[in-house]
Amino acid sequence: MKTRLSVLSVLALSLGMLSPTHAQDDVGACLITKTDINPFFVKMKEGASAKAEELGVKLSTYAGKVDGDHETQVQAIETCIASGAKGILITASDTKAIVPVVQQARDAGLLVIALDTPLEPIDSADATFATDNFKAGELIGAWAAAQLGDKAADAKIAMLDLADSQPSVGVLRDQGFLQGFGIDLVDPNRWGDETDPRIIGNEVTAGNEEGGRTAMESLMIKDPGINVVYTINEPAAAGAYEALKAFGREDKVLIVSVDGGCPGVQNVAEGVIGATSQQYPLLMASLGVEAIAAWAADGTKPAPTEGLDFFDTGVSLVTDKPADGVESIDTTEGTERCWG
């Protein structure tokens, strides 16, 4: 009942906003991120704020308390509808459960754009601006295989994943890496079901240094001969490197990662990480704000990249040891474009 009322009032409000007396600076937009603790989302907020200021859009930002905090995001969308905003940019924590309230927002005339994390199904949002996480994984997988050359056939691979709930971003990167390396995925929607003996094991890291270290230690106990390490992000990679150092193996192992944050790129430059796939959160957010401004101005909706069901904001492999057949940028360029 309460929501029904608020939807009605919002409709009234947004009808009011359509009247020509309102200038461009009345366009409101909301940015809802998973948390405000991850530098990735902090950067996203910066990108959105800068673009909003440039276009005269009034941006409100919301964030869940921790990754997986679905309830706060629902409340944020409700608040946003009630505030009469023109559009919502969201990185959803629970990509399925958020769909009904996203639909409410769209019914109320808001443009909803999923940033970074696609909703399930992906067309629940008007558009998705994201990194192609599978491709990000594929790039580092192909790079690692090329670096090993013939030895790729008997590599020993450690997989340091995100969480046991297998969120889609973690699955896409993991499976992309394996695809790029040339390993049979079995079910591409799940990690850990592969039967290739080159995979020593999967462990979860929560995407931070402490988790990366402990997970790497466990896999080194399983097989001290590990020579390739896939990591979900660069903090986990830094933790894995510390563990390898304690085992005296840091020079014999290739670590690959995904993200392209500034400390991560610096770790590539210093040889801690072999290569990382860099993504562009700032671009996602600023494009998102532009799309909402365009929607508010003349009702145009953003179109997906050709051949994909989302708008690909791009990914580049950052490494100082380029491999044949894998396009990459060096750490100087990576540093210029890094976030966080």
8-state DSSP, 339: B
Copy the structure tokens of residue 272.
């801690």
Q: Looking at beta carbons only, is 280 or 339 nearer to other proteins?
A: 339
Distance in Å, CB of 213 to other proteins, minimum? 6
Q: Looking at beta carbons only, is 64 or 235 nearer to other proteins?
A: 235
Q: Looking at beta carbons only, is 119 or 200 nearer to other proteins?
A: 200
Q: Looking at beta carbons only, is 124 or 276 nearer to other proteins?
A: 276
The answer to whether 183 and 143 have CB atoms below 8 angstroms apart is: no
Q: Looking at beta carbons only, is 56 or 224 nearer to other proteins?
A: 224
Residue type for position 333: E
Q: Looking at beta carbons only, is 47 or 340 nearer to other proteins?
A: 340
CA separation for the pair 302, 310 (Å, rounded): 10
Q: Looking at beta carbons only, is 17 or 42 nearer to other proteins?
A: 42
State the distance between the two ends of the chain, measured CA to CA, in whole angstroms: 42
**Three-state secondary-structure class, residue 230:** strand
Whole-angstrom CA distances from 88 to 23, 30, 147 are: 20, 5, 43
Distance in Å, CB of 232 to other proteins, minimum? 13
Given the DSSP bridges, would you call strands 275-279 and 315-318 parallel, antiparallel or unpaired?
Answer: antiparallel
Distance in Å, CB of 151 to other proteins, minimum? 24
Distance in Å, CB of 312 to other proteins, minimum? 26
Distance in Å, CB of 215 to other proteins, minimum? 9
Distance in Å, CB of 335 to other proteins, minimum? 14
CA separation for the pair 206, 235 (Å, rounded): 10
Q: Looking at beta carbons only, is 132 or 217 nearer to other proteins?
A: 217
Residue ranges in the chain assigned as alpha helix (H): 2-18, 39-55, 70-82, 99-107, 133-148, 168-181, 209-222, 234-246, 262-269, 281-298, 331-336
The answer to whether 179 and 138 have CB atoms below 8 angstroms apart is: yes
Burial of 298 (0-12, 13-18, 19+ CB in 10 A): exposed
Count of helix runs (H) and strand runs (E) in the chain: 11, 12
Binding site for other proteins (CB under 8 A): 36-39, 42, 65-66, 164, 192, 201-204, 206-211, 213-214, 217-218, 221-222, 235, 238-239, 241-242, 245-246, 263, 266-267, 270, 272, 340
